[in-house]
C-alpha cells in the first residue's frame, strides 16, 4: 500500500470543516463526522482493551473488529461505498453465540465492572452504543451505510458477553459479574 499520509498538519480544518475521502468538504460537527468520530472512538476504546491480557479467542475477535471498524469508517467517508457484508454481521453473531455458550444464564442486571479488562469491555460497549446512535442520526439526515447499524448493534451485544467472559476468567473472586442490588442505598 502506498504511503498516503505524507503531511499530518494541513491546516485545512482550521475553519471548522473537514474533508471526506470522496473529496467533499463538510462541517466538523455534521452528522456524518459525528458518526465517523464515534466509530473512531470505539476503535480506540478497543485498542485500550487489547492492551490488557486477554484470552486468544477474544483477542483475535477484537482484532478483526478493529479492522471492520476501519471499513465502517471507509463507508462513512465515501457515501454510497459499501464494504461490509452480511458475513461481517454473521461473524459477530457466531462469536457471540460461541462465547455466550460457556456463561451461566443471567438472572439479574449486572453493573459495568469486575476485572479491569471487563470494565474496559463495558466502556467499549457504551461507546459502541453511541456510535450506533450517531449512525442512526446520520441515516435520518443523509445516506448511511446499510449494515453499519446491525453491525454495531451486534458488536455492543458481543462486548457485553466479552465483559462477562473476562470477569469469569479474571482475578475477580469468585469470578462472577457484579450484580445490581436494587434499592441498595435506600
**Ranges under pLDDT 50 in the chain:** 1
Q: 124: Cβ–Cβ under 8 A, 6 or more apart, which residues?
A: 42, 45, 46, 48, 49, 159
Q: Given this model, what pLDDT does residue 175 score?
A: 64
Q: Could you tell me the three cell numbers for 96?
A: 457471540
Q: Which pLDDT value is given to residue 178? A: 85
**Cα–Cα distance, 153 to 147 (Å, whole number):** 10
Predicted pLDDT of residue 29: 87
Q: How far is CA 181 from CA 15, 185, 186, in A?
A: 49, 9, 11
pTM of the model: 0.89
pLDDT in tens, 33-47: 999 999 999 999 999
List CB contacts of 164: < 8 A, sequence separation 6 or more: 100, 103, 110, 118, 177
- Calculate the dihedral angle through the C-alpha atoms of 164, 169, 174, 180, rounding to the nearest 10 degrees: -10
Give the position of cell 475477580. Answer: 172
Mean pLDDT of the chain: 90
Judge contact between 144 and 88, C-beta under 8 A: no
Which sign does the torsion angle of CA 181, 184, 185, 186 carry? positive
**Bridge partners, residue 20, by sequence:** none
Per CATH, the number for 27-102+111-172 is 1.20.1200.10
Amino acid at each position: 500500500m502506498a504511503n498516503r499520509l505524507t503531511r499530518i498538519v494541513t491546516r485545512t480544518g482550521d475553519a471548522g470543516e473537514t474533508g471526506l475521502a470522496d473529496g467533499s468538504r463538510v462541517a466538523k460537527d455534521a452528522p456524518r463526522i459525528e458518526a465517523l468520530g464515534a466509530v473512531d472512538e470505539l476503535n480506540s476504546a478497543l485498542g485500550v482493551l487489547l492492551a490488557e491480557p486477554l484470552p486468544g479467542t477474544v483477542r483475535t475477535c477484537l482484532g478483526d473488529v478493529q479492522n471492520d471498524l476501519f471499513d465502517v469508517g471507509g463507508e462513512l467517508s465515501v457515501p454510497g461505498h459499501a464494504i461490509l457484508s452480511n458475513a461481517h454481521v454473521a461473524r459477530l453473531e457466531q462469536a457471540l453465540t460461541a462465547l455466550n455458550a460457556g456463561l451461566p444464564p443471567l438472572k439479574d442486571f449486572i453493573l459495568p465492572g469486575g476485572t479491569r479488562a471487563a470494565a474496559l469491555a463495558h466502556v467499549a460497549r457504551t461507546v459502541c452504543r453511541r456510535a450506533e446512535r450517531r449512525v442512526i442520526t446520520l441515516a435520518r439526515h443523509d445516506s448511511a451505510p446499510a449494515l453499519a447499524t446491525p453491525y454495531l448493534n451486534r458488536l455492543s451485544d458481543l462486548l457485553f458477553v466479552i465483559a462477562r467472559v473476562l470477569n469469569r476468567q479474571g482475578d475477580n473472586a469468585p469470578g462472577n459479574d457484579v450484580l445490581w442490588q436494587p434499592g441498595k442505598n435506600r
